Structure 1
Amino acid sequence: MSIKKVYLIRHGQTDYNVQCIVQGSGVDSQLNDEGQRQANLFFQHYKHIPFDKVYTSMLQRSIQSVQGFLDLGIPHETYDGLNEINWGTREGTRITPEEDAYYHNILQTWCDGETHVCIEGGESPDLVAARQVSVIETILSRPEEETILICMHGRAMRILLCQLLKYPLRCMDQFEHQNLCLYQLDYTGSMFTVKSYCDTAHLHIQKSPDQTIPDPHEQIR
């Protein structure tokens, strides 16, 4: 079997990212101007890659992030299994200091190994992992797709990386992410290896200093 190459990216920036508003699977936000710029930079840097298929979540911010490749006519499939975690009652709300404390408590609970615990009104990492299984099986069952692009969301991407690399879910925060970052993985037929980790080199082309917006809550959206 030839090596399957997987290019896994997080969606580009949205206004919700900038405003520190929680967006999970229940918020179908669009890319803002910076997110569109990030998507275009990624496309310009990787448009020469002969992708056989593009996989995205059902949410428009992930689809918009790969629109350049779709415009080339590359086949595209959407799966709700790739959607972001559902953040429950906090979807669409601004993060206050009290909210921030609650999130960090939940994140610590998960890091302590209690990945079955759901956020209030939402999902647990275990539930997200369970809905990703069928997507993983579909992708691995298609050896003819030698090079694929997957666009999804930060927390769900961390969970997916744990599954692909055989890490326990409590280790998911070891996988950093930023808007439009890239993880490149190779699959040999028996295991995945990481060739590129949270790569954002493509975003620094023609980037102005005033376009960098710090986001202390990046890990939870």
Structure 2
Amino acid sequence: MPKLILVRHGESQWNLENRFTGWVDVPLSPKGEEEARIAGEHMRDLPVDKVYTSVLQRAINTSKIALAAAGKTEDLPTERDEALNERHYGDLQGLNKAETAEQYGDEQVKIWRRSYDVPPPGEKGESLKDTAARTLPYFEAHILPDIKAGKNVLVVAHGNSLRSIVMALDKLTKEQVLELNIPTGIPLVYDLDDAGNVLSHAYLFER
């Protein structure tokens, strides 16, 4: 029974500073590095055959730290692709979330952050729907075939790219996904059958 392990990267420096990060390639904070290490310690008993990450360093380094802490030091086959990147926050990238709420209003910022199909301002701004439009085809073309081949797969990515995957796996509606929040550094493990259907899922631990 193959496993799919989803991990949102540890806290980044801009998470700490309460900034919209998106595609900006900021590093992990010291707390984020510790979250990655703790995630790895909880993954010691989980087999991993292949690793997928985004191309952003906070996801790449989370995977490296977690795998080292899990004792999985062998060179695992790894793919990195921007299809797994965080959603692009457009003109909001780099802005402080509280200051943005003061400027535009709490309700508008909540819509930009949590709605399914309303993108933030800016030509490159992506809604969750836009993010899913690149993340899910990649998942179905690359990750799902590995699972169907019986491999245990680790995916280290971002809040919204992972939300789009969970939305598909759990068959959530547009309304249900609005309440979905994936915490940093806590592995979410899916047990799947050979056809890729979900049998069960649970977080490895609670914080």
Establish whether TM, by shorter chain, passes 0.5. Answer: yes
Query: Structure 1, unaligned stretches of length 5 or more?
Result: 205-221
Runs of 5+ in structure 2 lacking a partner? Answer: none
Aligned 8 A contact 1:125 1:159 in 2: yes
Partner SS for 2:3: strand
Number of residues of Structure 1 aligned to a counterpart in Structure 2: 193
2:121 is matched with 120
Match of 1:20 among 18, 36, 40: 18
Deviation at 1:105, TM superposition (A): 3.0
| TM-score normalized with structure 2 length | 0.84
Out of 26, 42, 48, which is 1:29 matched to? 26
Deviation beyond 4 Å, 4+ runs, structure 1: none
CA distance in 2, matches of 1:193, 1:100: 42
Match of 2:33, SS? helix
TM-superposed CA distance for 1:7, in Å, is: 0.7
> Among the aligned pairs, what percent are the same residue?
26
- Indicate which of 131, 137, 149 corresponds to 2:154: 149
Letter in 2 for 1:158: R
Counterparts of residues 52-201 of structure 1 (less than 5 Å): 52-68=49-65, 69=67, 71-95=73-97, 96=99, 97-99=102-104, 101=106, 102-107=108-113, 110=115, 115-121=116-122, 122-137=125-140, 138-142=142-146, 143-188=148-193, 189=195, 191-197=197-203, 199-201=204-206
| Cα displacement string for residues 140-193 of structure 1 (whole angstroms, at most 9, x for unaligned residues) | 122335211111111221122101222223321332222212211122215224
Equivalent position amino acid for 1:75 in 2 = P
Q: Letter of the aligned partner of 2:137 in structure 1?
A: S
* One-letter code aligned to 2:30: D
Residues 39 and 187 in structure 2, CA contact (< 8 A), matched pair in contact too? no
Structure 2 counterpart SS, 1:185:
strand
TM-score (norm 1): 0.79
CA contact (8 A) 1:19 1:94 kept: yes
Q: In 2, Cα distance between the equivalents of 1:24 and 1:36?
A: 19
1:39 corresponds to 2:36: yes
Report if the CA contact (8 A) 2:112-2:127 is conserved: no
Q: 1:102-158: CA deviations, max 9, x gaps?
A: 3113356x2xxxx33322110122211110122221211223352111111112211
